[in-house]
Chains A and B, each alone.
Chain A
Amino acid sequence: MAIILDHVSHVYGGDTTLSVKALNDINLVIPDGQFIGLIGHTGSGKSTLVQHLNGLLKATSGSIYFNGQDIDDKDYNRKELRSKVGLVFQYPEHQLFESDVFSDVCFGPKNLGLSKKETELRAYDALRKVGLPEECFYQSPFDLSGGQKRRVAIAGVLAMKPEVLILDEPTAGLDPKGREEILEQIVKLREESGITIILVSHSMEDVAEYVDRILVMNHGEVMYDDVPREVFKHYKELESVGLAAPQVTYIMHKLKAAGLGVDENATTISEACEEISKVLL
């Protein structure tokens, strides 16, 4: 029960002069229940990769298996795959179209052919999960704030009860408060339902604190695939591909260089706090 990618490559614009190799020989295993941070510079292929996971893009070569079945098989039910692997796109609020929030969230489950009652139950449940205040449920989605719109859009995917939830830059364009709220909701969601989550981002800060595993992508290839602590050890290489380790990493390295006996591989602020107080107190 996992997603397996076997030598997956993808080329955009096959036979034109503008052909671009977006993914190059990706091999991955994504086990159930893992919280993964997918990181890469703009154009590194992360959005392309996640669109393969629910069959929106077809790999130019290689195969993808979901729960043991090849998703490229002719008789594979791709609609079901899309309900199992929920993908929340970048700026998902741009996909809202219904006249009120509740009906918009109902769109996904309705497409799965569920009964009206089940659909509404799921929509209600999803909206509660993303923490949208109840008085907004019957408002027009276009009257909401940016952060609220985004939650409605995330709820629209959650209502399909996916086993894997992929979020493509869920915090892009939000203010720090909205950012934190969304990330907290995602963490809470994972604690409550234990689903697999893939968080796509280009900010290490976003993911360092929460994820079990970080995938760093560069030029369509997986550059690092490890736990955060190990990945951030390569902070110099990360810089060279236009990424940065969390600020904590830099502080810890500087402290270490200044002669303080701290563990420079602390990845979160709380870990760093502990380390520093251990040395100083």
Chain B
Amino acid sequence: MLRDITLGQYYQTESVIHRLDPRVKLAGTVIFIISLFCFDKGWGYIGAAIFLAIVIKLSKVPFKFMIKGMRSIMFILMITVVFNLFLTPGEVVVSFWKLQITKEGIRIAAFMVIRLAMLLIGSSVMTLTTTPNNLTDGMEKAMRPLKVLRLPVHEIAMMMSIALRFIPILMEETDKIMKAQLARGADFESGNIFKKAKAMVPLLVPLFISAFRRANDLAMAMEARCYRGGNGRTKMKPLVYKKRDAIAYLVLFAYLAGSIAVDKLLW
């Protein structure tokens, strides 16, 4: 049940996208998202879709697997559609009762769905092809200049990698506790919302306790191995840009420029 959420998960396989430097993938995701919000006609989205399709193909992650994780987000997507559809003022197309659908509303709603869907798929390509450790390593290195501003870059990266590392563990734990309580006749599914909320207590209390226990154990283990923050800490596998990363950067900027040009120049 919980395993179905693939957002933020890593999909293990061997591909060019997997091998890219995490900084390239981070920058790529940001560029892709920026491009999505630059378009104001349909053409740009076609370009973005083609680009995304190529990247997904190269990443060798099954598209079905990617979509599976999006089901839970569909709901949020639907809400934005409904709000945009009914609450945008403009030229009325259909109206019934107190609601009216406008031409502008349809346009904005359609754009919103495409943008958000592509944004989600685009960022899940990054998380699916980058191990959490690699990802935070990349972030740490990309954010290093901010150290001048006395931002604790290493600590933030460490917190993030621990948080990411604990997602699957806590999910597994949730699954286990859920099963244990189901075995004792617990019912998480039936009843109204209050009953359901109350049914969560036997799940959440043990989960919190175990999260604290794990946090405590981890802190101990880190101290026992003389962890003392980022100063003077070296990496076992330092990130180094390779030729393919340079090519990837070029491709990215070509995409950004190309797709915006197409969007602005075509009518």
Contact = CB atoms under 8 A, between A and B. Distances in A.
Which residue of B11, B65, B180, B210 has the most chain A CB atoms within 10 A of its CB atom? Answer: B180
A144 interface: no
B176 A89 contact: yes
B185 A160 contact: yes
Given A97-B201, A97-B205, A15 B183 contact: no
A89 B180 contact: yes
A156 B206 contact: no
Contacts of B201: 97
B183 A17 contact: no
A79 B12 contact: no
A94 B183 contact: no
A176 B184 CA distance: 28
Contacts of B3: 13
B181 interface: yes
Given A17-B12, A111-B187, A82 B210 contact: no
B258 interface: no
A66 interface: no
B167 interface: no
Contacts, number: 65
B13 interface: yes
Nearest to A111: B185
Interface in A11-28: 13, 15-18
Q: How large is the interface on A (under 10, 10 to 19, 20 to 34, 35 or more residues)?
A: 20 to 34
Interface string A146-188: 0000000000110010000000000000000000000000000
Contacts of B182: 56, 82
Contacts of A107: 181, 184-186, 202
A61 interface: no
A82 B11 contact: no
B183 A157 contact: yes
Interface string B186-198: 1100000000000
B228 interface: no
Nearest to B65: A16
A195 B99 CA distance: 64
A79 B11 CA distance: 35
B62 A95 contact: no
A11 to B, nearest CB: 13
